[in-house]
Each structure stands twice: as C-alpha cells, then as structure tokens.
Amino acid sequence: MKRIKKILVYISLLLISTPAVTQQIALYSQYLENNYILNPGVAGSEKEYSPLKLSVHKQWIGIQESPSTQYVTLHHRLVNDVMGVGGIIFHDSFGPIRIIGVQSTYAYHLKVARNLRISFGLNAIFMQYIMRISQEDFWGYEPILTRERTSVTVPDASFGAYAYSKNYWGGISISHVLQSKMKITGTWMENSNKMVRHYFIMGGYRFAFPGQYHLELEPSALLKFTETTPLQVDANIKVIINKRFYTGLSVRGGDSFVAMFGFNFDDYFFGMAYDFTFSDLALHTIGSQELVFGWKLGIKTRQGKAFY
C-alpha cells in the first residue's frame, strides 16, 4: 500500500503543477543554449562548428523520485552548406516511469537574404516507455498490472522551421506529430497514455549597447502549448559580456523564475540554471536545477570565431 500511495502522490503533483509538466515532455531551463532540443530545424545552423551538448536537469528538488532528465545532442552542417544532420539521446524518469529515446534529424537550409537563412527540420523519434509497478502495489484491488516491469517502444516524429541571422532568430516546431499511443496493458492505461502534439514558438534578438560593444543584451521568448493545455509563456533576458560570459533571468508564467549563468573557454562551454518555484509546488520543493556542458567540435580548424 505504501507504493500505491506514492503513485497517487505522483499523480497529484502532476495535477497541481503547471502545464509545462503535464505536457508529457521534459522541462528544460537552458534551452536558450541549445534550441536544437526544441526545434529540429536548428540542426546545422552553426556553420563554423558542430556543437556537442550534454545536460542534466533535476526537477522539484526535495521531492523523492521527482522528474530527472538527461540528454546528449550533436548536430552538424554538411559540406554542401544546405543540409544539416543531428541526433539526440535522452532519458527521462519520474517515480516508476522511465522514458529512454533517440532522435535522428535531417534539416534543409535556404539562404533567403545576405544574412538570413531559413531551415526546415524533421526528427524521427523512437522511445521506450517503461513502468515499474507490481500487482502487489494494488493488493486488494482488481488486477491492473501483471508484470513487474512493463515496457513498450513506440515511434514518433517532430517538425520545425527555423529562421536565423547574426543578431536574431526565431522558429516554430511541433513535437509528437504522430500522437503515438503507449499500449502498455489492456487496462485503462491503453487509452489514457496517448502522446499529444506540443507546439513551440520561439524568438530572440541580440544587440550591443551604444559604445559598449563588449556588452550585449538578448531578450527572447518561448510560447508553448498543446491541444489540451493552455498557452504558457517564458520571457527571457540575457546579458553577454565579451562574448564569453553571460547571466540571465527567465520568468515562466504561473510557475517559476529562472536564474542562469554560463561561460565558454576555448572550445568548451558550461552553463547552469536554477528555477525558483512560486506555484503551489513551492510548498513541496526548493526548486529545480539544470547543468549544461558543451564542446565545439571542429572549431580548431576555423580560428577566430566566437561561441555566441
């Protein structure tokens, strides 16, 4: 019975949390440093190098078995200068639920102006959905699960369009296009565990202060929603110093604000973000934390290019 009580706690946390959590997709705080994680059209947008990124995100610190997400991403512009490829390996866990997946990306880049390109990207996604619950957890109830470890592997896809220039960028993407069903058992879970389409709209602009070219300001925004949840808006501001250091603040509507900072040294990058929760979850957690590590592959053959 202790196990089923924990499961009910997980469900209640989902119900009182923000739409971003109930959207079946891991929540990221450092997406400003890796737009590729949200939009496949970003693949190949860095012409001078191939960014390798690793991230660890621990959500709701202080809550036992709270959501935890890790990913590795890499994307690259091909020598023909119009096509990009990439890949993502990700792992997401929350209580007895675990999702392991891979994504493979193809993107096509069009030059529409001297300093403006538009790209279109497509992700092929394969996810293994695993649930660790035994029938003993539901002792005294009608049989629900008959195996200690139940899993299913499903395909899905995402699509994105991305416009980028030296000083501005923007894009729109759709995830879970196929709306795959997680057919784990023949019970109520078969119909309820259906992925829903997620929509992301993002954009930002970077400009220098007059006479202070070592100091840059980058406001940006992210809009996200599904067909079953309302719109949520992230408003972000980032200050970049000498093209090497940055600090910033993000406000996630109805949920939290995020403090972030980072720096790059030669070919390497490090970033950290901390979410301060002000929703109802603040009674149960002290916040969330995310770390991002990056490596600019191939940059040594093209000296003189900045990270940002």
In this prediction, residue 254 carries a pLDDT of: 77
Does residue 308 fall inside a structural domain? no
Q: How confident is the model at residue 211 (pLDDT cuts 50, 70, 90)?
A: confident
User: How far is 133 from 126, CA to CA, in rounded Å?
Assistant: 23
Contact 297, 52 (CB under 8 A): yes
Residue type, 9: V
* Mean pLDDT value of segment 56-70: 87
What mean pLDDT is predicted for residues 268-278? 92
Check residue 20 and give its pLDDT: 39
150: β partners: 131
For 104, the domain range is 2-301
Q: Which of 79, 88, 83, 87 is nearest to 25 (CA)?
A: 88
pLDDT confidence tier of residue 149, bands split at 50, 70 and 90 = low
Q: Which helix (H) or strand (E) element contains residue 192?
A: helix 189-192
Please report the beta strands in 29-186, taking only residues with DSSP state E, as ranges in sequence order.
50-58, 68-77, 83-94, 97-113, 116-132, 149-164, 168-175
Overall pTM surpassing 0.95 (yes/no): no
- Asked whether residue 216 is domain-assigned, the answer is yes
Q: Per residue in 173-197, pLDDT tens?
A: 999 998 887 766 544 444 456 788 9
Distance CA 278, CA 285 (A): 10
Q: With respect to residue 307, please indicate whether it lies within any of the assigned structural domains.
A: no
DSSP 258-291: EEEEEEEETTEEEEEEEEEE-SGGGGT-S-EEEE
Residue 306 lies in a domain: no
Kindly state the average pLDDT of the residues 95-100. 86
Name the domain count of the chain.
Answer: 1
Residue 147's nearest CA partner among 185, 181, 99, 189 is 185
Could you tell me if residue 251 is inside a domain?
yes
Give the CA angle between residues 280, 283, 289 to the nearest 5°: 90
Q: CATH number for the domain including 160?
A: 2.40.160.40
Using CA atoms, how far apart are residues 175 and 195, in angstroms rounded to an integer? 9
